[in-house]
Amino acid sequence: MTVVSIGDLLAVLPELLVAGAGCLVLVLDPLTASDRKDRLAYLSLGALGAAFVASYWFMGLSRPMFSGLYALDAYGTFWKLLLLAVAAFVILLAQSHLKLEAIDLGEFYAFILLSLSGMMVMVSGTDLLVIYLGLELMSISLYIMVGFKRFERRSLEAAAKYFILGSFSSGILLYGISLLFGRTGSTTLAGIRAGIAGLPVGDPVLLLAMVLLIVGFGFKVAAVPFHMWTPDVYEGAPTTVTAYLSVASKAASFAAFMRVFLEALGGLKTDWQMLLVAVCIATMILGNVVAIVQTNIKRMLAYSSIAHAGYALIGLVVADASGVAGVMLYMALYAFMTMGAFTVVAVLRKGGLEGDTIEDFTGLARRNKWAALLMLLFMISLAGIPPTAGFIAKFYIFMAAVGAHLTWLAVIAVIFAAVSAYFYLRVVMVMYMREPGEAAGAPGYGVRIALSPGVIAVLLVAAAGVLLLGVYPDPLVKAAQSAILPPR
């Protein structure tokens, strides 16, 4: 056993910065006046910025660390940069949104940072237990964040549901890990890989362990049939948390999912591909079809996020370089449009309207044309229509599928992408094609939506990302393609 070296500690500097800042925020919180919680936000943003710079600086580096339990590699760095950016956006959005919801507590920023450090561990861990540790740190922080509106029953119900189902799925994941350990004698990804190579094909315990891992990760990425928690939790959680949940936690889970399945379970590829194809198709179908009947925009976006997990899963099913790059690109582009959409929902809440049901968007184009225009942009991007980021994301996923002779899967995906256009466009329809007449009596109607600089920044970045990356995705494509997992 080697001792922890200075080099190792330096390489996890971004993680240390984020986790340290999280603890610092917890300590400083009681010392901060209740109307000065902004300072904690700025502190968190500063830590995220420093971690971002550090990660960016490490971009070209690649080294195993801590006796092979952890790795600094291009793959992890790509995800870390994405997660750091998303967390920063969530904090910018939360600053004003928390005040409005009267939940302006300093702990919020601490939990964001702590869950983020969990995610960063997840995407870089090369040992199942380390990944599990990161996953639990992320999940436990998220359980609390979901229930942050503690005086509202919906929020508490969501937190309880998320906690119970989440711990159950973590248990299943852990069970899978222990079975793998029992069969291969290792918990590191490389060790498991070597162990599987020495075992006979079709070993039942291995297959069971693989299925359990799929259940565990499937829950985190909200794949059917492990998606049941998603709509309730998305609806009940404060909108900022929903945004964080649907973007960051999904991205980190996909990152770990891919690393574990490609690096540790690469030997069982034919087995898990078969299972994942079924999961992937079911996810696309259920997500897109059930979203049609939703009347609550957050529930609709929840089902839409399930559907998008389905599209991203295509990349994992393909499981070659283009598939992995496709998933990375998909989650990065998905981050822009989903952050944008949830931000608009959160902003509307600020206007005094509830902003939760799709009906609340009625005639938005007349009341606030910029909010309507941005929502239009995010909706067509989610529907995958060019020239937006959503199209590029789907394009690369379909390229990967067709390149791997899974054209039929791409055809199923496009059919349900066409279905999805229906419910995304319904939002556009109520915004642009209905008179605000019937909503005119609603409380807060006509209130000008006051935007904080933070929210404006989030909206601008999201809109610019959706449009610019939709027109010129080359830099991001190159970044993703150069950061894929090394082939084994």
Partner 1 sequence: MTDVIYNTTALPHLLTLLIFLPVLGVAMMAFVKEEASIKHLAFWTAAVEFLLSLALYFWFDPGTHKMQFGEIAQWISTPPIRYALGIDGISLWLILLTTLLTPICVVASWTAIKTSVREFMIALLVMETAMVGVFCALDFVLFYIFWEAMLIPMYLLIGVWGGPNRIYAAIKFFLFTLAGSFLLLVAIIVLFFQGGHTFDILALSKGHYSDTMQAWLFWAFFAAFAVKVPMFPLHTWLPDAHVEAPTAGSVILASVLLKMGAYGFLRFSLPMLPDASVRFTPVILTLSVVAILYGAYMALAQSDLKKLIAYSSVSHMGFVTLGIFVFNTQGVEGALLQMLNHGITTGGLFLCVGLIYERTHSRLIADNGGLAKPMPRYAACLVIFALSSLGLPGTNSFVGEFLVLVGSFLVNKVLAAVATLGIILAAVYLLWMVQRIVFGVPSDKTARLRDLNWCEMATLVPLIVLIFWIGVFPNPFLTPMHASVSHVFAQMGRGANTVAPVVGSLTGILPEALP
For partner 1, give the closer residue by CB, 175 or 395: 395
What is the CA angle 349-252-29, rounded to 5? 55
Q: Which stretch binds partner 1 (CB under 8 A): 275-283, 301-309, 335-343, 468-476?
A: 468-476
Among 395, 452, 467, 468, binds partner 1 (CB under 8 A): 395
Interaction of residue 415 with partner 1, rule CB under 8 A: yes
Shortest CA distance to 320 belongs to which of 412, 400, 236? Answer: 400
Q: How many angstroms separate the CA atoms of 137 and 349, rounded?
A: 30
Interaction of residue 403 with partner 1, rule CB under 8 A: yes
Please report the sign of the dihedral spanned by the C-alpha atoms of residue 324, residue 424, residue 290, residue 160: positive
Residue 64's DSSP bridge partners are 71
Among 61, 418, 450, 460, binds partner 1 (CB under 8 A): 418
Among 5, 67, 295, 407, binds partner 1 (CB under 8 A): 407
Interaction of residue 467 with partner 1, rule CB under 8 A: no
Interaction of residue 386 with partner 1, rule CB under 8 A: yes
How large is the angle between the packed helices 389-403 and 407-432, nearest 10 degrees?
A: 170
Residues in contact with partner 1, counted by CB under 8 A, come to a total of 33
Amino acid found at 232:
D
Among 159, 333, 380, 449, binds partner 1 (CB under 8 A): 380
Interaction of residue 425 with partner 1, rule CB under 8 A: yes
Interaction of residue 411 with partner 1, rule CB under 8 A: yes
Cα→Cα distances 304→290, 348, 422, Å: 9, 20, 12
Q: How many angstroms separate the CA atoms of 262 and 460, rounded?
A: 36
- Least distance from partner 1 to the Cβ atom of residue 100, Å: 30
Interaction of residue 421 with partner 1, rule CB under 8 A: yes
Q: How many angstroms separate the CA atoms of 290 and 423, rounded?
A: 10
Residue 125's DSSP bridge partners are 70
Confirm if 238 and 156 have CB atoms less than 8 A apart.
Answer: no
- Which are the contacts of 178, defined by CB distance < 8 A and separation ≥ 6? none
Q: Which stretch binds partner 1 (CB under 8 A): 170-178, 203-211, 269-277, 426-434?
A: 426-434
Among 168, 175, 181, 422, binds partner 1 (CB under 8 A): 422
Interaction of residue 374 with partner 1, rule CB under 8 A: no
For partner 1, give the closer residue by CB, 100 or 468: 468
Shortest CA distance to 288 belongs to which of 432, 428, 412? Answer: 412
- Phi then psi dihedrals of residue 265, to 5 deg: -105, 20
Q: Where are the alpha helices (DSSP H) in 237-296?
A: 239-244, 250-259, 269-292
- Least distance from partner 1 to the Cβ atom of residue 481, Å: 6
Among 9, 292, 293, 414, binds partner 1 (CB under 8 A): 414
Q: How many angstroms separate the CA atoms of 149 and 97, rounded?
A: 12
Interaction of residue 385 with partner 1, rule CB under 8 A: yes
Q: What's the token pair of residue 196?
A: 């599987």
Q: Which residues inside 239-258 make contact with partner 1, applying CB under 8 A?
A: none
Interaction of residue 481 with partner 1, rule CB under 8 A: yes
- Least distance from partner 1 to the Cβ atom of residue 399, Å: 6
Question: Which residues lie near partner 1 (CB under 8 A)?
Answer: 365, 369, 376, 380, 385-387, 391, 395, 398-399, 402-403, 407, 410-411, 414-415, 417-418, 421-422, 425, 428-429, 432-433, 472-474, 477-478, 481
